Amino acid sequence: MKIYKNICWLTLALLMNILSGCSDIESPTVDSVLPKDILHEVRVSTSSVRMKLGDSLKLDPLMFAVDGTQLDVANIDQITWSSSNSENVTVDSSGLIIGWKVSASPINITVSVKYNLVTKTHRIPVYVTSEQLDITSIKLVALDSQKITSRTFPGVNSLRRYPRVRIDLYQEDSIVQSGLNLPLTVPPGVTLQYIPAERVFYVFRTDGVTGKFNIKLSGNMYGNEVGDSLEFISLYSAYSRHSQVGYKATFFEDVNSPFGLGISIDSSAWYDAIDRSISYIMQPCAIIIFDVYGRELFDFVPLLYNQMFSYPKIDIVFDDSANVSDCNSSNPDMSTYEPEVIGGNVYGWSPFKKVIRKSSTIGEVNWYMRDAETKEPIGISGKYIARELEI
C-alpha cells in the first residue's frame, strides 16, 4: 500500500512537471494583415477586346487591395487564364490571346489570381471579326434625360421610367456600328440592364444617393485603347406611395352567390398597408400617391363592391395646404388616378381609385385623414420631406 502511494505521488509530480513545461511553449500566431495587403478586386488591363482574325493581344492582370491601392503583380501566388471557347480565342499562361475564328457573340476570357490566400476572378468579352473595322472612336449616347431618380412615377411600360444609353462605334463623324453590348463601369448603387431587342442599356438607381456620377466605357479596338463617359445626376424621388387605405376584406366560398364567393369586410376600423415609419425624401412637386388597400380584390369581382359595399368618404388634410403651389402636371398616364390635387387638401375621397397630390413646399409636410362628414380623424396619418438637390 505504501509503494502504491509513492508511485501515485511520483506520477503526479511528473504530470505537474509536464504541464508546467508546456507553459513555456509558444503556440503559432497569425500575423495581422493590413487592408493594403488584402486582395479585394482583380481586373484586366482592358474592359473588352475587338480584334481581327489572326491578331494577338497581351492582357495584363491588375490587382487592387481593400483600401483601393494597386498591388504588385510580381507578388502573385498563382494566376490562371482561361477561354470560354478555345476554338475562337485562345489564351496562354502569360495572358496572350489569339483570335482563331470569327465570333459574332463574345468569347469570355477569365483570369483567376491567388494572392495572400485570397482568390479573385475577372472576365472580359472578346470579339473576333473577319476584317478590321475602320474605327476612330467609341461613344456613349444618352437617348433620354441624364437625370435619374431612385423612385419614379408608375407608367404603362416600367422600363420607360428610366434613361437609356447606347454604345456606338464611329469613324470620324459616321456610325460604323450601333447598339453594342460592352461592359460599362458604374459606381455602387447604379445598375445597368441591356435589352437586346432595343440594343440599349437602361440605367437604374435604387440606393437613394443623390448627386453626380459617371458611366464609363473603355475597350481595346484593334490594338487601340478607346473610351468614353457620360455624366448623370441622381435626384430625389419623383413619387412616393404614401398610403394604401381601406377596410380589411376576406373572401369565402358562398354557394348562394352567383360568383361562388362571398366577401367579409371589417368596417370597424380603417387600415393602412403602408409602413408609416418610412418617410421618403422627395423632390419638390413630386407625385404623392394615396392608393386603395385591397383594390385588386374588389377589381376581381367588381359587382360585389358596386352592389354590396361602398367606402365612407374621407378627407386628406395637409399642413401646407394654404401654401401656393406652382407645380404643373407631370404624370404621363392619368388614367388610373382621380384628378390630381395641387397644393391643397383632398376632400370627399371614396377610396376606390388612386388620388395624387403635388406641392412645391420645401421641408416636412404632415398629413392626416378624417371622416368627410364628421370631420373626425380616422387614425391614419403620415409625412414626407421635400428637398431641393444640393450639388
Strand partners, 246: 271
What pLDDT sits at residue 215?
96
**CA torsion through residues 346, 349, 351, 353, sign:** negative
What pLDDT sits at residue 160?
56
What pLDDT sits at residue 278?
60
Residue 336 carries which DSSP code?
A: T
* Distance from C-alpha of 130 to C-alpha of 316, rounded to nearest angstrom: 67
What pLDDT sits at residue 330?
57
Beta carbons within 8 Å of 274's beta carbon, 6+ residues apart: 241, 242, 243, 244, 382
Q: What pTM did the predictor assign?
A: 0.66
* Distance from C-alpha of 104 to C-alpha of 354, rounded to nearest angstrom: 49
Provide the residue count of the chain: 391
What pLDDT sits at residue 20?
43
What pLDDT sits at residue 46?
93
The CA-CA-CA angle for residues 332, 338, 342, to 5°, reads: 75
What pLDDT sits at residue 207?
78
What pLDDT sits at residue 23?
40
* Distance from C-alpha of 7 to C-alpha of 15, rounded to nearest angstrom: 12
What pLDDT sits at residue 25?
44
Contact 39, 113 (CB under 8 A): yes
Classify strands 164-171 and 174-178 as parallel, antiparallel or unpaired: antiparallel
Strand partners, 103: 128
What pLDDT sits at residue 8?
40
The alpha carbon of residue 104 and the mean position of all alpha carbons in its chain are separated, in whole angstroms, by 30
Q: Render each residue's pLDDT in the chain as its tens digit; 391 residues.
A: 444 444 344 343 444 443 444 444 444 444 567 888 899 999 999 999 999 999 999 999 999 999 889 999 999 999 999 999 999 999 999 999 999 999 888 999 999 999 988 999 999 999 999 999 888 899 999 999 898 876 655 543 454 568 999 999 999 889 999 999 988 999 988 999 999 999 999 998 877 788 999 999 999 999 999 999 999 999 888 888 888 898 887 777 877 776 677 777 788 889 898 876 666 788 888 888 898 876 555 555 555 545 556 788 999 999 998 877 788 765 555 566 777 888 899 999 988 788 888 899 999 999 999 999 999 999 999 999 998 887 6
Residue 5 carries which DSSP code?
A: H
The alpha carbon of residue 363 and the mean position of all alpha carbons in its chain are separated, in whole angstroms, by 27
What pLDDT sits at residue 341?
87
Contact 102, 53 (CB under 8 A): yes
* Distance from C-alpha of 39 to C-alpha of 181, rounded to nearest angstrom: 29
Written as one letter, the residue type at 214 is N
* Distance from C-alpha of 190 to C-alpha of 162, rounded to nearest angstrom: 12
